[in-house]
Amino acid sequence: MAGMNLPRIAPEALLHRLELPEPPLLLLDVRRPGSLQKHPFGISGAVPIVLESDGPQLPDVDRVQEIVAYCLCAGQASSTRVAQWLIEAGYTRVSILEGGLPAWRAANLPIWQVIARPDLRWTPLDRLLPTSSESGPSTLLAERAFLAGVSLPVRREMAVLFVDMVNSTSLLTTQPAERVLTLVQAFMEVVVQVAVQHCGDVHDFEGDGAMLYFSDVADALPAAFALRRQLFRARSVHALLPPARIALDTGPLVIGYVGTRDRRGLCFIGPSVNTAARILKQAPPGGIVATARVIKKGRRSAPECTEQFARMPNRLHLKGFDESLAVYLSLPAVEDLSQSCTFPQPHPDAGESSAINPHPSEESR
């Protein structure tokens, strides 16, 4: 399973296949929550699958039914996830659309409204998968999605997200290690779920934090806000779960393997990884910090997210970088936070809006 190479189909080939009357093809449009309501368009005849936080439902059809999955990102991360689940559930003819919906659009192929099919039977994922699959794949999703068949190392434009628990070390002095592990597991479950829903993946778990990667800021920014919301909700179940802080940057990364034949892993090298890791400490509990590069790209692809940022007062001087860095901050709703938390104020030229939902001024653009 870990090393599977999923079959892919090009947009033109998929169009030809859809035009054939028999045998029928089941086309799955993989979406994150809310996307279907905002942009209910995709390939004609596709059936939407929404990656809900409590686990998706998959079509329960004949296991020899031919199925093609696609998602809204060119990295094919979400469609790869669904395809893997289907294969684990026993489906034998599963493939994904090469390049996702962006490739279909780039080929000037027709777009139609995507609607649910009431005649399909749907079953929760955990009931379809065998018990042995709970351990999950050991390789990164990138190796089975946008890097499948690619000769490494390769250079790609990527968005990077770091998230960690604030002051989690104090838990070790007050709680048994087993209890702390339970809290870390609850935290990381949310992290993985959000990554899956937003066409991303977790590169590595690092103690009380994790590094996530996305093919575009358009996925990374909504993921950051979803991650903050869902981690706050998790605290209503796990009262001792520390608040999180999140950092984002974007830029070119060189992706390749490091290690030996006995033990190797996929490595992401580029300034954006170091930058995101370093600015993470600038975020207060519940805060999201992002570089100007993220904000600039996000204003085109995720404006509903960027309008919630304000520029921080001072440019940062990060160790190892010659130039200072402009950083933007988004604060959560006040009711989600402890009264003991204090936060940096937004830049004075960030406009009249509050620090909770700041709108950057023209100067900061």
The CATH number linked to 206 is 3.30.70.1230
Instruction: Please report which confidence band the pLDDT of residue 336 belongs to, taking 50, 70 and 90 as the band edges.
Output: low
Express each pLDDT in 106-143 by its tens digit. Answer: 999 999 999 888 888 999 887 887 765 444 445 555 66
Give the model's pLDDT for residue 349.
Answer: 37
Within this chain, do residues 87 and 167 fall inside the same structural domain, yes or no?
no
Number of Cβ within a 10 Å radius of residue 267: 17
Domain range holding 22?
8-135
Closest C-alpha to 196, from 111, 137, 263 = 137
Same domain, 81 and 120: yes
Q: Does some domain include residue 302?
A: yes
Mean pLDDT: which of 57-61, 152-156, 168-172, 309-313 is highest? 309-313
User: For the domain that residue 121 is a member of, what is the CATH number?
Assistant: 3.40.250.10
Q: What is the pLDDT of residue 48?
A: 92
Examine residue 355 and state whether it is found in any structural domain, yes or no.
no
Per-residue pLDDT for 265 more than 80?
yes
For residue 321, the one-letter residue type is F
Q: Is residue 1 part of a domain?
A: no
Q: How far is CA 180 from CA 38, 208, 235, in A?
A: 39, 10, 14
pLDDT in tens, 182-197: 999 999 999 998 887 7
Which of 72, 105, 135 finishes a domain? 135
Cβ contact 215:158 at 8 Å: yes
Asked if the model's pLDDT at residue 363 lies above 50, the reply is no
Whether residues 67 and 208 fall in one domain: no
pLDDT band at 3 (very low <50, low <70, confident <90, very high): very low
The whole-angstrom separation of Cα 75 and Cα 147 is 9
CA separation, residue 307 to residues 296, 302, 311, 355, 365 (Å): 11, 9, 11, 11, 11
pLDDT per residue over 235-245, tens digit each?
999 999 999 99
The span from the CA of 308 to the CA of 91, in Å, is: 43
Phi/psi-derived region of residue 286, left when phi > 0, alpha when psi is between -120 and 50, beta in every other case = left
pTM confidence score: 0.72
pLDDT given for residue 43 in this prediction: 96
Same-domain status, 89 and 173? no
295 in any annotated domain? yes
Give the residue among 356, 241, 266, 243 at the shortest CA–CA distance from 310.
356
Local structure of residue 214 (DSSP, 8 states): E
Whether the CA torsion 116, 118, 120, 125 is positive or negative: it is positive
State which of 104, 135, 166 marks the end of a domain: 135
- Contact status, residue 311 vs residue 296, Cβ threshold 8 Å: no
156 assigned to some structural domain: yes
Average pLDDT, stretch 154-170?
Answer: 93
pLDDT score recorded for residue 53: 60
Name the strand (E) or helix (H) holding 329. Answer: strand 327-330
Q: Which amino acid is at 301?
A: S
Residues 169 and 83 in one domain: no
Average pLDDT in the 277-289 region?
96
Residue 14: band (very low, low, confident or very high) from pLDDT cuts 50, 70, 90: very high
**341 within domain boundaries:** no
Q: Name the token pair of 235.
A: 């605290």
For residue 83, tell me if it sits in a domain. Answer: yes
192 and 312 together in one domain:
yes
Q: Summarize the confidence of residues 244-264 as an average pLDDT.
A: 94
**Which of 105, 135, 165 is the endpoint of a domain?**
135
CA distances from 323 to 6, 49, 201, 275 (A): 43, 44, 30, 12
Helix, strand, coil share of the chain (percent; to 5): 35, 25, 40
Torsion of CA 195, 197, 199, 202, to 10 degrees: 20
Burial, 255: exposed, middle or buried (Cβ in 10 Å; 0-12, 13-18, 19+)? buried
pLDDT at position 176 over 60 = yes
Asked whether residue 155 falls in the same domain as residue 61, the answer is: no
Domain shared by 232 and 257, yes or no: yes
In this prediction, residue 354 carries a pLDDT of 32
Same domain, 258 and 223: yes
Q: Are residues 53 and 22 in the same domain?
A: yes
Higher pLDDT, 171 or 333: 171
| Residue 85 and residue 220 share a domain | no
Count: domains in the chain: 2
Does the pLDDT value for residue 34 go beyond 50? Answer: yes
In a domain, 223, yes or no: yes
Judgement on whether residues 161 and 284 belong to the same structural domain of the protein: yes
177-197 vs 217-237: helix axis angle to the nearest 10? 140
Q: Which of 22-36, 150-164, 304-318 has the lowest mean pLDDT?
A: 22-36
Q: What percentage of the chain reaches a pLDDT higher than 90? A: 53
- Model pLDDT, residue 128: 82
